[in-house]
């Protein structure tokens, strides 16, 4: 059995460039405090990138994972994690292509 590409992971705990270069988001895992919040994944390596995916967290402490269907979400210029506030405590991205920042 062969693999078409290696899946890599990177974790961020605040606003930051997470992946540089063309990449496909395959899945993610996030943790949050007891207050509802959100984070947005942007195409690019700065906060001015185009939002591709916004996740709203529940108003209870915990974590959740999301697996992207089919080929995932294409980010042409990398992925920037933009968290709304400190209630999002970590975001882990699973991706193919590009490199962790």
Q: Residue 15: name the closest of 38, 7, 62 by CA.
A: 38
Residue 21, domain extent: 8-100
Residue 16 belongs to a domain with what CATH number?
Answer: 2.60.120
* pLDDT tens per residue across span 39-97: 999 999 999 999 999 999 999 999 999 999 999 999 999 999 999 999 999 999 999 99
Say whether pLDDT at 101 is over 70. Answer: yes
**pLDDT tens digits, one per residue of 19-43:** 999 999 999 999 999 999 999 999 9
Which of 39, 32, 95, 31 has its CA nearest to residue 67? 95
The predicted pLDDT at position 3 comes to 52
Quote the DSSP letter at residue 88.
E
As beta bridge partners, residue 19 has 79, 100
In a domain, residue 68? The reply is yes
- What's the whole-model pTM score? 0.93
């Amino acid at each position: 059995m062969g693999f078409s590409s290696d899946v890599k992971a990177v974790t961020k705990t605040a606003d930051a460039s997470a992946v540089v270069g063309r990449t496909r988001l395959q899945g993610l895992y996030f943790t949050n405090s007891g207050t509802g919040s959100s984070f947005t994944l942007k195409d690019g390596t700065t906060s001015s990138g185009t939002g591709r995916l916004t996740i709203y967290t529940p108003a209870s402490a915990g974590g959740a994972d999301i697996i992207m269907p089919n080929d995932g979400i294409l980010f042409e210029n990398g992925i920037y994690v933009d968290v709304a506030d400190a209630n999002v405590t970590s975001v882990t991205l699973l991706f193919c292509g590009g490199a962790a920042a």
